[in-house]
Structure 1
Amino acid sequence: MLRDVPLPLSPAQIRSIVESQDAPIALWSGAVSSGKTIGSLLAFLMRLAVAPDHGLIVIVGRTLQTIERNIIDPLQATHLFGPLAKHVVHTNGSTQAVILGRTVHLVGASDARAEGRIRGSTIALAYVDEATLVPHSFWMMLLSRLRVGSESRLLATTNPDGPFHWLRKDFILRGAEVGLRNWHFTLDDNPSLDPGFVARLKAQYVGLWYRRFILGEWCLASGAVYDMFDEHRHVVDLLPYMRRWTAVGIDYGTVNPFSAVLIGQGEDDHLYAVSEYRHDSKRALRQLTDAQYSLGVRQWLADVRRPGEQGSARGVRPEWIFVDPSAASFMNQLWTEHVPGIAPAVNDVLDGIRSVGVALGSGLLRIHRSCEGLLGELPGYAWDEKAAERGEDKPLKLDDHSADALRYALHSTAHEWRYLLDHQEVNRAAA
């Protein structure tokens, strides 16, 4: 089967594939794009070929969509798996696939209720994508369902998380006791990576994410969230001409501060936090209504100076205005007033923090000095160390309103600006 794969395999991948065949629980962990998924999927196909006829075969992921994207799509790619790919049959949206002639059940496990989907089942072979994202209760239920004697196998992949995560504490560190073998992968273990791609990956992950996803460390979320922020590097007094007025991010507050941050793309292909609107009811001794906030935001945008244009040109119309998704009444107010481009922000906190961290760490994002609320919050925006000790990555909910507004604007448009990172890499190489 290994001879059918067109990609070169590293010694680490081959070793893990061979050694995993006899392991009750086999785990591939480490850096992103380090070859662990290819190695684990080949091991899964080899186990599937000899799996007993009695007992279910399951592939588990956070959602059905992530299973299709991370597992099924690669398995169907001939440039990855050669002639084996034609033996993977699946219709998008279906909770079943046929792989090497065997029916495989696709199980989404986004919360503890997912354990009901496998309760009562007898499972012969299971593959888990991104095991740290699977609820602990589901993992334990899955282990209890592997009851085809010594023939049952569980294969899983993961990127590292915090050092107190249950997967590390209860399984990796107790591997010999619980029957788990763990193979740690780095970027050097993937022989198919282009050096330029490796350089881009290293530029795109910073701080906590660099340690986990590039170095493969199981490290604690501690200290400043944006530890790469440097006033001398990131704060500017002068702005270039803006090619695009990309987005406004709005964090809604009545008792807490209300903050809006405007993002533009400069002619130098950097992103800029150009201006900020902020109302702190505690300082102003006055709370505003949705209508008053709407008026305030519209007047602010109408008064924003457009840099790089002749005279004192003012007034911008951003392509998008992303609002805190919990602020339904405020969004309704904006829609009622026919304000264009209104949408709920993408509020995946950790992924959003990572997007902001990428923009800051790469030097892509710069912040105008007038954004006083944002500049006041970023240096003190910190991880909750008590949550980290429980195995959770959470920032402290303290003085984070402008930081959240920035996250809404950047993360909701990340698909539109990530290509600028490649431009930066080219410019650095040419310098």
Structure 2
Amino acid sequence: MQVTLKRGGFQDALLRSKERYVLSVCGYGAGKSYIGALKAILLSQVNAGCNGLIVSHDWSILTSVIVPQLEEHLQNMGIAYDYQKAANILVLPWGKIFLKVGSKPIVGFTTAYAWLDEGALMPDSLWKDVLARVRDKAATQSQIYITTTPDSMHGYVYKNFIESPLPNSKVIYGSTTENSHLHEDYVESLMSAYDHRMQQAFIHGQFVNFNSQPAYHAFDRKIHVVDRWDLMTPYGVYDMMAPEPNLPLVLSLDFGVEVATGVVMQRSSQGGGSKIRVLDEIWLQNSNTFECVEEFVRRWGDRGFTLVVHGDASGFSSGSSAATTDYDIVRKMCTNKFLAVNIDVPRANSKVVDRLNMVNSILHGSSKVQFRVHSRCKKLIRDLIHVSLTADGSRRLDKKKDTELTHVSDALGYGIQRMPSPLQEFNKLRSWS
């Protein structure tokens, strides 16, 4: 197989790199998995008689992205192989490649090289494990290389390659714009979905300092907080903040210990594009799910709405001997008060950083999606202004500064991530980047 790579591009640079430690940090969709898998095969040939190691941050990514990419390269190159799925080993004519996930300790074998896919999402302990494994004296080219998006200025990746670079190390930057195989409007859509800082990080692969920053940095009270949201139509002025009986009502919940919260939203496509508005909030201190939903039903029940429920995945956990979950309570209390009730909640919450990116992209606004919150939602507005990230640069929410903060904005995030937006398709494609 003949591989054609852009001369001077990050893929070409990674493939040719000889340093002991190599970091390739790139934007979404840049082609990291493609070149990472190809380099693993070439290193296995260079180090014939030795074994290699590939580590993914997630088991599903390993089996649905990394392994198929390896198999595609091997088939195109005409190389015989045996993928031993049960043992998670790829056997090549000249050596084995061990396939692992970063959430588990890596012990018990020696390799000549290692590839860490999305290494910035893996714990520091994983890096130490890999350093201990890559020690084969018979290796012709011993190398540890990492492909990743710049998740934060925190952890072993930033420390060992940027802050205090290891001896014989190299950093290669890559941009989404380098991948000519992407759909023609992919980059343009990403640019419209992200603000400047997010563009630098997740398109151009640059480390961006999110340290001591507001979590919802794209929020602008002058733009997003309204009493009315007037839209000109052929039939006159239409107030988008007025509840629409023909549209589903959305309730998104956060199940906190100190505070029970929820936001009430609607989404429409009036005037083109998606328009998301927060009509109301529920915020009850020292309360519980029953009281929160009871208050919601008191305000919004029996008004002819269908209801869609989003929220915290922990609400599927049973908190009683009767095995009744929070969402069981929601369904039971709402069924006779709404035309229909649909519980749309994933079984596991997404990473906090992904929720923040999603909400900020919505706040940033574009021709495809706009967002407003009614001025009555004082707790949510306070959250969007005052919730901040921890000072360690890890892009975690600071939940200690004020225990009343983060709850209702978390509820907003759970709802936003289930609604169509410019980032939805890109989050689905991230694993292929």
TM-score normalised per structure 1: 0.78
**Match of 2:299?**
300
> Aligned equivalents of 2:289 and 2:183: distance in 1?
51
**Equivalent AA in structure 1 for residue 150 of structure 2:** P
Q: Equivalences for 1:21-420 in 2 at 5 Å?
A: 22-54=18-50, 56-77=51-72, 83-84=76-77, 90=83, 95-98=88-91, 102-110=95-103, 114-115=104-105, 118-149=106-137, 150-151=139-140, 152-175=142-165, 177=167, 179-206=168-195, 208-221=197-210, 222-236=212-226, 237=228, 238-239=239-240, 244-245=247-248, 247-253=250-256, 255-256=258-259, 258-267=261-270, 268-281=272-285, 287-302=286-301, 314-323=303-312, 325=314, 328=317, 329=319, 330-337=326-333, 339=335, 340-342=341-343, 344=345, 346-363=349-366, 364-369=369-374, 370-385=376-391, 387-388=392-393, 392-397=394-399, 398=402, 399-411=405-417, 413-414=418-419, 416-418=420-422
Q: 1:384 to 1:299 in 2, by over 3 A?
A: same
Paired AA for residue 269 in structure 1: G
1:383 deviates by 1.6
Contact 2:160 2:166 in 1 (8 A): no
84-93 or 288-297, larger mean C-alpha shift: 84-93
Contact 1:30–1:160 (8 Å) recurs in 2:
yes
> Aligned equivalents of 1:96 and 1:244: distance in 2?
51
Find the residue that maps to 2:259 and give its secondary structure: coil
- Structure in which a larger fraction of residues adopt helix: 1
Distance apart, 1:128 and its partner CA? 0.9
Per-residue Cα deviation, 1:348-400 (whole angstroms, up to 9, x for no partner): 21111111112222341322424333223212222222x32xxx221222422
Describe the shift of the 1:315–1:147 C-alpha distance in structure 2 as closer, same or farther (beyond 3 A). same
Change (3 A) 1:331 1:36: closer
What is the Cα deviation at residue 316 of structure 1?
Answer: 1.9
Aligned residues: 388
| 5+ long unaligned stretches in structure 2 | 229-238, 320-325, 336-340, 427-433
Unaligned runs of 5+ in 1: 282-286, 304-313, 423-431
Partner SS state of residue 414, structure 2:
helix
Code of the residue aligned with 2:101 in structure 1: it is G
Counterpart of 2:384 in 1: which secondary structure? helix
- CA offsets, 1:66-121, max 9 Å, x none? 1234422334457xx882388676587872344677543221112xxx22xx3231
State the AA in 2 paired with 1:247: V
CA shift digits 1:246-289 (9 cap, x unpaired): 732112346335233324234343232342232333xxxxx545
Letter in 2 for 1:342: I
- Structure 1 residues 96 and 243: CA distance shift in structure 2, 3 A: farther
Quote the Cα distance in structure 1 between the aligned partners of 2:94 and 2:19. 24
Q: Name which of structure 1's ranges 342-351 and 392-401 shifts more when overlaid on structure 2.
A: 342-351
Identity of aligned residues (%): 19
SS of corresponding position for 2:411: helix
CA contact (8 A) 1:356 1:407 kept: yes
Shift of 1:420: 8.9
Does the 8 Å contact 1:63/1:108 carry over to 2? yes
